[in-house]
Amino acid sequence: MKYILVFLILLTALYCKKPNNNDLPKATHTAPPSIPFKNYLGINLFEWDFVEPNLQQVISERKMHLVKGFGGIRHYLDWEKIELTEGKFTFNPSHSGSWHYDSMYERTKKENVDILVCLKTIPPWLMNTYPEGERDYENVPAPYGSNRSDPASYILQAKAGFQFAARYGSNTNIDQSLISLNTNSRWPGDEANVIKIGLGMIKYIECDNERDKWWKGPKAEQSAEEYAANLSAFYDGHKGKLGNNVGVKTADPSMKVVMAGLSIPDPSYVARMIEWCRKNRGLRADGSIDLCFDVINYHIYPNDTDHTKTSKATVGVAPELSSIGRIADDFLKMSKAQTKNMEVWVTETGYDVATGSIQRAIPIGNKSSFITQADWNLRTALLYARHRINKSVFYMLDDVNLNSNVQFSSSGFVNADYSPRPSWYYMQQAKSLLGDYSYDQTLNSDPLVDLYKLKDKEIYVLTIPDQVGRTGKYTLDLGKSKQAIIHTLQQDKEKMSSTTVATLQGKLEISVTETPIFIEKL
């Protein structure tokens, strides 16, 4: 404990200095990609975050209200939920958990909330092919003893991908004889599953989660080449070689396959996957490599490490003071060089509030860790917009255990009773005001001054990129505008506090803090 306190004192002293913003993008007048800011406000969640307890078939209006506060969702879907018995699929209700996925996905689509489904883990019948002492639901998704370098070893998971895409994708021209639905009822009066094709509810599916599971050993960790083989089966049945009911693209060519988010954010892992595709899938007609994924994906939580396998975090840090911006640039550079600018997503990021977590947001001045968590989460979204990552998704809607010091256990945006925390309110307010705007350029680095545009409308976002309670002044030049609206975040409201003010010959002096402030040009 003594050494941790000494470390924190030194860390605080370091951050009292003006932060090093060399990795921030320079102001540019080139047209940026038009990515709405709401793309950076995604949230991870589970089935129970849609429904009331013990009412799996009924969408909870109070929970849906929370879900709609985000710009998109990533749904963790355990494979066993849809295939409890090998070859017998159930979706509505699922025979594992009695979940009604049709209802969940239909409502999400109706609310215009983008959804990524992460099909993860292995079902019990596959796990049981492993020796008793090596069974883990996060093992490699192939029967024990399989050749992990052979796409055919992953045909079972790839068949599950086909069945899911056939039901929830957009292709209505699928032979029903290829559908393996279990239409048997479990008990008298139980609702039976009904074959449905091309419901058009899901556009993105992720092939498992963190397949580079180094901490679980060989039974669960895949090399880049092994995971590429896995993806090739899942993507299109290894270019159709594994059968007409294998692979997501075989069912719906328009559904996008997202690679599993990497636990170690290393672009070279993806580069090795690309090289495997070159050797084993060849080239497309346009000369590009026939890749078996449509989106590059990694996970990263801002803290005091360099995010390598051997580094150990001790505390979360403000996003701008961490290495996440540099790593984002590294992934984008790799994507541009090797994939013709394939989209890059970050599908897990965030902060804990527990005092002993190595990923905790720290109290700052009169701000509790809950307020710092809200500040830093929103500033993380702003950072990814600034670096032009295509999407970011936060971990996660509710806590695993608020009282646990285990990392990622207390990163929720809502409390156990689903009452919102400041992190949810900040996301909701940012989405309401800025969600349809796109990042244009950064005008200043300290304080950070970002310009967002929506057609002829402009909003400026100003933040001190620090974590010691530092404040400052900035004179914003609004040109010929005689007025502006100052929008201020509120910790317990769904809309920002807004005040219309007059400029002085187009200039407006703003008090800036470590909580973002929003200036709307009139």
Report d(CA 400, CA 352) in Å as an integer: 11
Phi, psi of 65 (to 5 degrees): -60, -40
User: Three-state SS string across 44-61, please?
Assistant: EECHHHCECCCCCCCECH
Domain with CATH 2.60.40 in the chain: 448-521
Report d(CA 389, CA 119) in Å as an integer: 23
Closest CA to 94 of 102, 73, 127: 102
Report d(CA 443, CA 27) in Å as an integer: 5
List, in order, residues 6 or more apart from 498 with CB less than 8 Å away. 485, 486, 487, 488
| pTM metric for this prediction | 0.94
The CATH fold assigned to 448-521 is Immunoglobulin-like (2.60.40)
- For the stretch 437-482, pLDDT in tens is 999 999 999 999 999 999 999 999 999 999 999 999 999 999 999 9
Which tokens is 248 given? Answer: 């997501």
Residue 170's pLDDT is: 98
DSSP state of 319: G
Residue 27's pLDDT is: 38
Closest CA to 209 of 167, 159, 260: 260
Residue 408's pLDDT is: 97
Q: Cα 317 vs. chain centroid, distance in angstroms?
A: 19
Burial (0-12, 13-18, 19+ Cβ within 10 Å), 352 = buried
Q: Cα 522 vs. chain centroid, distance in angstroms?
A: 34
- For the stretch 480-491, pLDDT in tens is 999 999 999 999
| H or E segment to which residue 248 belongs | helix 248-251
Residue 19's pLDDT is: 45
Report d(CA 270, CA 283) in Å as an integer: 17
Report d(CA 236, CA 257) in Å as an integer: 10
Report d(CA 13, CA 468) in Å as an integer: 9
Q: Look at residue 454 and give its three-state secondary structure.
A: strand
Mean pLDDT by groups of 10 residues along the chain of 522 residues: 38 40 44 84 98 92 97 98 98 97 97 96 98 97 98 98 98 98 96 98 98 96 98 98 98 98 98 98 96 98 93 96 98 97 98 98 98 98 98 98 97 97 98 98 98 98 98 97 98 97 97 98 97
For 232, 256, 298, the CA distances from 259, given in Å and listed in that order, are: 11, 10, 9
8 A C-beta contact, residue 77 and residue 120:
yes
